[in-house]
């Protein structure tokens, strides 16, 4: 049994009443089902998925957002209706902003590491994309070798950039000791990526999937995501029309495709950290991007529920086959005895 109260030094509580606009949530909405860190820290022993917010943006060119991005996402997510009664959900609040960017990294790494060590799946609501480094370091601390997937229009290997969010992959993929067994990059847009960057990824034997190819065969991403432990999603991968706060490109995944990728992450029995990064509320329009992310979270729950039911069914099928074969054998044995085939006492034909 873990002592979750050791995490309190790193977390600020949230208020469901404030998140609901002082209206409260209706019966059946996720906001009435989630265990929340408000006045007291929730009991997490029976919980499957834990949400934590981190509004850190000092690793990007963005200034500190005036609005709390994770809370806007929560506002819409908790207003959605809860269809997946087999999933137990908790929200432990927001990571406190450290005196430095490294302090925030350390706090997030510690919280995520403690939760995954206890068998929880952690969802991080960011924050700039460089927080993926803290997400990864939660595995490094436990010397756990992993596979990682990033969904992003860019490949963040720009070494001459002052912004951590534009070069964090270099440390993550080449740092020593390294715990990345394999890395997959989904949805890069070629006109934003230098050809030599792809050559570098190829030399490292990592896989990069171009946006157009992924959109043509979305189902091929399911096994790619299924095999990873770390899943990181930068909303720049979504087309501006579907996520107005993603102002990098008019092209990208549409809303349904983003939800499909998130469902694949939920279906995986291996994925245990999921980060959604890059949401800046000041760039949003009518909070449409917050709504899009909330729908992605809903599909994450849907995927986890579907994956669990499928695994239960697959575990039952072998025993069903055994029972069927046993019954088939008994039936054939019974017929054989009636015919007495074993003793060769079959009737003969008189010539």
Contacts of 196 (CB under 8 A, 6+ apart): none
User: Could you give the CA distance from residue 124 to residue 53 in angstroms, rounded to a whole number?
Assistant: 6
CB 186 within 8 A of CB 261: yes
List the chain residues with pLDDT less than 70: 1-2, 62-67, 317-351
What is the pLDDT at residue 21? 83
Residue 72: C-alpha distances to residues 14, 38, 283, 296 (Å):
12, 17, 13, 14
Give the CA-trace dihedral at 228, 234, 237, 243, to 10 degrees.
130
What is the pLDDT at residue 5? 80
Please give the share of the chain, as a percent, with pLDDT higher than 70.
87
Omega before residue 115 within 30° of 0, cis:
no
**Burial level of 55, CB count in 10 A (0-12/13-18/19+)?**
buried
Q: Which two tokens stand for residue 203?
A: 């030399």
User: Could you give the CA distance from residue 147 to residue 149 in angstroms, rounded to a whole number?
Assistant: 7
The pLDDT tens digits of the residues spanning 136-150 come to 999 999 999 999 999
Which residue in the block uniquely carries the two structure tokens 């909330």? 294
Dihedral sign computed on CA atoms, order 67, 12, 62, 114: negative
What is the pLDDT at residue 6? 86
Q: Which 3 state secondary structure label does DSSP give 232?
A: strand
Domain 4-310 falls under CATH 3.40.800.10: yes
User: Could you give the CA distance from residue 293 to residue 297 in angstroms, rounded to a whole number?
Assistant: 6
What is the pLDDT at residue 212? 96
What is the pLDDT at residue 350? 40
Task: Provide φ and ψ at 345, rounded to 5°.
Answer: -95, 40
Per-position b or e across 232-250, b if 16+ CB within 10 A of its CB: bbbbbbbbbebbbbbebbe
- Compute how many other C-beta atoms are within 10 angstroms of the C-beta atom of residue 15: 13
What is the pLDDT at residue 322? 56
CB 121 within 8 A of CB 49: yes
What is the pLDDT at residue 81? 96
Dihedral sign computed on CA atoms, order 146, 129, 239, 123: positive
Where do the structural domains in the chain lie, given as residue ranges?
A: 4-310
Q: Is 22 left (phi over 0), alpha (psi -120 to 50) or beta?
A: left
Global pTM reads 0.87
What is the pLDDT at residue 331? 58
What is the pLDDT at residue 330? 59
What is the pLDDT at residue 271? 97
């Amino acid at each position: 049994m873990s002592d979750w109260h050791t995490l309190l030094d790193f977390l600020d509580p949230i208020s469901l009443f404030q998140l609901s606009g002082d209206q409260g949530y209706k019966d059946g909405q996720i906001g009435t089902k989630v265990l929340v860190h408000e006045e007291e820290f929730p009991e997490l022993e029976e919980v499957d998925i834990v949400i934590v917010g981190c509004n850190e943006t000092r690793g990007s060119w963005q200034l500190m957002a005036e609005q709390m991005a994770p809370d806007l996402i929560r506002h819409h997510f908790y207003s959605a209706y809860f269809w997946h009664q087999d999933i137990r959900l908790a929200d432990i609040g927001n990571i406190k902003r450290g005196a430095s960017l490294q302090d925030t990294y350390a706090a997030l790494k510690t919280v995520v590491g403690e939760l995954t060590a206890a068998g929880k799946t952690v969802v991080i609501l960011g924050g700039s994309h460089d927080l993926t480094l803290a997400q990864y370091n939660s595995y490094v601390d436990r010397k756990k070798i992993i596979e990682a997937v990033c969904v992003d229009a860019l490949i963040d290997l720009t070494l001459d950039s002052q912004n951590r969010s534009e070069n964090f992959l270099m440390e993550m993929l080449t740092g020593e000791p390294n715990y990345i067994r394999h890395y997959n990059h989904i949805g890069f847009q070629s006109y934003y990526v230098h050809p030599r960057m792809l050559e570098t990824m190829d030399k490292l034997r990592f896989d990069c999937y171009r946006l157009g190819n992924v959109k043509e065969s979305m189902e091929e991403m399911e096994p790619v995501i299924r095999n990873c432990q770390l899943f990181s999603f930068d909303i720049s991968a979504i087309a501006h029309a579907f996520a107005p706060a993603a102002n990098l490109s008019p092209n990208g995944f549409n809303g349904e495709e983003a939800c499909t990728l998130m469902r694949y992450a939920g279906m995986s029995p291996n994925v245990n950290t999921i980060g959604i990064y890059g949401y800046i509320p000041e760039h949003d329009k009518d909070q449409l991007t917050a709504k899009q992310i909330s729908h992605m979270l809903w599909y994450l729950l849907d995927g986890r529920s579907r994956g669990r039911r499928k695994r239960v069914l697959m575990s039952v099928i072998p025993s069903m086959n055994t029972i069927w074969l046993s019954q088939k054998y008994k039936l054939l044995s019974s017929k054989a005895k009636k015919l007495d085939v074993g003793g060769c006492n079959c009737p003969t034909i008189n010539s």
